[in-house]
Amino acid sequence: MQLLNGKETAKAILDSLEIDVAQRAASGKKVPHLAAILVGNNGASETYVASKVKTCSEIGFISTLIQFEEDVTEIKLLEKIEALNEDMDVDGILVQLPLPAHISEKKVIESIDPAKDVDGFHPINIGKMTLGEKDAFISATPYGIMLLLEHYKIETKGKHAVVIGRSHIVGRPMSILLSNNSNPGNCTVTLCHSKTTNLKEICLQADIIVAAIGIPEFVKADMVKEGAVVIDVGITRIKDASKKSGHRLVGDVDFTNVAPKTSYITPVPGGVGPMTIAALMKNTFKACDNRN
């Protein structure tokens, strides 16, 4: 079994981006500028946005964090997005999800200029990704997983990939990317969800399993074939009195028992999480490069 080290791989990607940004700056070109919108006081969202902003400054990007109170109106939020769409200095816009219930996520996502949609959630980018078009912005978590597979030169062609979870931001795009005629890609894909019957039997046929469910340690050793590649997207914070912080992060895979059966597996934390931020930064650099 070999660990797919997302932390190290993300660092290599970010180091390379830092050099690219410095080169842009040295040749008088503008540096990438990411605008992040945070609504309300969701602790997890605050942590995610803070680490995106921090990463921007570490690699030489400009970032602007725009914060709204929980009760901000949908109209006010849409007006801000429109202003950012028009702002020539801003290359990438992200709105941290989830949003409060009174705001339509669909409306918000669709209001972002697709050329600045570095989260890759806009229907135009999802359509382009589905068609395998190179200029698509691919949502950061699936894109990060593809970069990880590429980095470790994992053979995906002709393999049976089973994706568990069909969310718009992880499972569904992951299933499309793995089935596209690309490298990594060219898998035969089965997409599973909560209504899937025989999940265990399907998983046992998988050469590659991507678990994006949100249920801690859902994937057990008796669901995994010897030698499979296992990608664990799940991150759930559970109480742990033995930790100084009082909690620990757990993935969707029962790592202790599954890992010995696998050829490659991602740890939690330090697997998919850091790759997601690296992929977002790559998208932001691309948005800047496309526009300037």
251 three-state secondary structure: coil
Q: How would DSSP label each residue in 149-206?
A: HHHTT---TT-EEEEE---TTTHHHHHHHHHSSSSS---EEEEE-TT-SSHHHHHHT-
194 annotated ligand-binding residue? no
195 contacts ligand NAP (rule: CB under 6 A): yes
Q: Name which position in 73, 183, 194, 292 contacts ligand NAP (CB under 6 A).
A: 194
Q: Is position 135 annotated as part of the catalytic site? A: no
Neighbours of 2 (CB within 10 A): 12
Identify which range of 12-20, 75-83, 231-239, 283-291 contacts ligand NAP by CB under 6 A.
Answer: 231-239
Contact in structure between 229 and 3 (CB atoms under 8 Å): no
Q: Name which position in 108, 166, 224, 231 contacts ligand NAP (CB under 6 A).
A: 166
Cα distance between residue 266 and residue 229, in whole Å: 9
- DSSP structural state of residue 72: -
169 contacts ligand NAP (rule: CB under 6 A): yes
Q: Least distance to ligand NAP from the beta carbon of 232, Å?
A: 9
Within 260-289, the residues that bind ligand NAP by CB under 6 A are 272-273, 276
Q: Name which position in 38, 212, 230, 287 contacts ligand NAP (CB under 6 A).
A: 212
Cα distance between residue 255 and residue 266, in whole Å: 9
Burial annotation 103-140 (CB, 10 A radius, 16+ → b, else e): beeeebbbbbbbbbbbbbbbebbbebbeeeeeebbbbb
Let me know how long the chain is.
Answer: 292
Nearer of residues 84 and 273 to ligand NAP, judged by Cβ: 273
Q: Least distance to ligand NAP from the beta carbon of 96, Å?
A: 12
165 annotated ligand-binding residue? yes
Q: Which residue is nearest to ligand NAP (CB)?
A: 167
Q: Is position 11 annotated as part of the catalytic site? A: no
Cα distance between residue 104 and residue 78, in whole Å: 10
204 contacts ligand NAP (rule: CB under 6 A): no
Q: Is position 23 annotated as part of the catalytic site? A: no
Q: Name which position in 40, 132, 214, 270 contacts ligand NAP (CB under 6 A).
A: 214
> Which of the residues are catalytic?
52, 96, 119
For the annotated binding site for NADP(+), the residues are: 165-167, 235
